[in-house]
Amino acid sequence: MGRPTYPIEKYLCLMVLKRKYNPGYESLVKEVGDQVVEQINEALLQKLKEKEVLKHRKLRTDTTVVESDIHHPTDATLLQDGVRVITRLVQKIRKVASHAAQDFEDRTSEIKEKILSIAKVLRRRTRKSWEEVDKITQEVIDVTEAVCDKAKSVVEKMRDEGKNALNQSKQKVTDAIALTEKLLNQARQVVSGTRVIPDRIVSFFDREARPIKKGKLAKATEFGYKVRIDETESGFVTGYAVYKGNPSDDELLVLAVEEHIRRFGKAPNAVATDRGFGSKKNETELTDCGVVRVSTPWAAAGIGALLAQKAGKLGRVWNFGT
């Protein structure tokens, strides 16, 4: 019987997309799979709308985090991933172009030992232990820099022999070096004392995943993608969006309402969210869109500012605590 396969029409479409955009096979299947899910959801909503099962007078939107399948990121382990990938690619090149990789040294075991030593130091949980971690991380940085320099030398020595496979390997090494150097820059900032880095890379293999804080007690920080989910009073999910990075919730509310209007032809009568979406600007824009009732509680700071403003108009002075 053989393994399950695609119809030839779908296979040809996949090959056209691969030829045009040159993604990997896993990325190609994932992208096409996401498109199919979106189309199925649209078809289902349309059917429910035709049968008048789907009510859409009320809209509730919220965000959550879809975690990436990655290990917990530290600066040292991210550099370890970069060194491991570069070494593996250079070893493949050595089989077909030994002259280019003859001076390249495998230092993955050396970095692994340093990573293990960091774990031992952290068990002590003292202030001095963090200083030792920074010192070991600096050693990992030094080794990684040396590996990148050697890998660049390998790329320079590779002759353009017109072999497609060899050229692809050369490009992969170049891309791996570029990403590893970005991780090196992050690690240097942390060792120097800069702990907060905007748009920080948290995975060598999922480069668009980001650290996201949602105020959960069990997980203070999650690593992945923010997802907006919209649902109506019928309990059906009518819209969703996956975002790169960590956009603020209050930037997503108007987008959710606009998508609702596009799908159903008019604005919902009522919109409800949690306080992360609340702002005076959003309330004004939703009212302009045609929403009659807006339930978006403001954060404590926003409420305090509003009460202070009203108190000022009445000629009274109020003292708001934190």
Phi, psi of 318 (to 5 degrees): -120, 150
Decide: helix, strand or coil at residue 218: coil
pLDDT value, residue 219: 84
- What are the structural domains of the chain? 1-51 (no CATH), 54-70+229-322 (3.30.420), 75-191 (no CATH)
pLDDT value, residue 151: 95
The bridge status of strand 270-272 relative to strand 58-67 is: parallel
Which residues does the chain have with pLDDT short of 70? 1-4, 34, 127, 160-162, 299-322
pLDDT value, residue 2: 62
- The residue among 276, 281, 215, 220 whose CA lies nearest residue 248 is 276
pLDDT value, residue 40: 80
pLDDT value, residue 37: 75
Long-range CB contacts (within 8 A, 24+) of 239-246? 239/263, 240/41, 242/66, 244/208, 244/210, 245/199, 245/208, 245/210, 246/210, 246/211, 246/212, 246/213
pLDDT tens, 253-286? 999 999 999 988 999 999 999 988 989 999 999 9
pTM of the model: 0.75
Q: Are 86 and 151 contacting, i.e. CB atoms less than 8 angstroms apart?
A: yes
Task: Indicate the average pLDDT of the chain.
Answer: 85
